[in-house]
Amino acid sequence: MEKPRLPISGTCRCGRVEIEISAPPIMTAACHCRGCQRMSASAYSLTVMIPGQAFRVTKGEPVKGGIKGPQLDHYCCPSCMTWMFTRIAGVDDFVNVRPTMFDDMPWNRPFIETMTADKLSWVETPARHRYEGFPPVEEFPQLLEEFARSL
């Protein structure tokens, strides 16, 4: 995979909110759950998991949208309502960022796909690992290591 120059910045649809990442993702994913289908208005959502300290909002003030907690906080532009990133309650190791916010995002290819139980019947992704739900916690270290090697 080609290595882009960091940081990379991205914006919502209207440009009022800008975000920036300064490190490569620790994992990339496609999620087929019904919530992601609804929020992305598409077949599935795409995620790049960015280390918490390597992600920042550089312009504007995102507001909570989606389910508004308690476990997940979906952040959206207050004007165009684009769903830009998600924080998991109590977790600051990483932020789930939507790679489609970035013009130049070499890491938008999903390495894993989750919630295939809800997958639309015609959908196929190039993900290397598929899960009907979410990957078991005990598989995570190996997945992260395998992903890091693939970068």
Buried b (16+ CB within 10 A) or exposed e, 65-90: bbeeeeeebbbbbeeeebbbbbbeee
- Residue 108 near Zn ion by CB under 5 A: no
Which of 21, 26, 30, 36 touches Zn ion (CB under 5 A)?
Answer: 36
The verdict on 16 binding Zn ion (CB under 5 A) reads: yes
Count of CB atoms within 10 A of residue 41's CB? 7
Question: Is 21 near Zn ion (CB under 5 A)?
Answer: no
With contacts defined by CB under 5 A, name the span among 30-38, 66-74, 95-103, 119-127 that binds Zn ion. Answer: 30-38
Residue 12 Cβ, how far from Zn ion at the closest point, in Å?
3
Establish if 123 lies at the interface with Zn ion (CB under 5 A). no
Count of alpha carbons within 13 angstroms of residue 36, beta-carbon side: 22
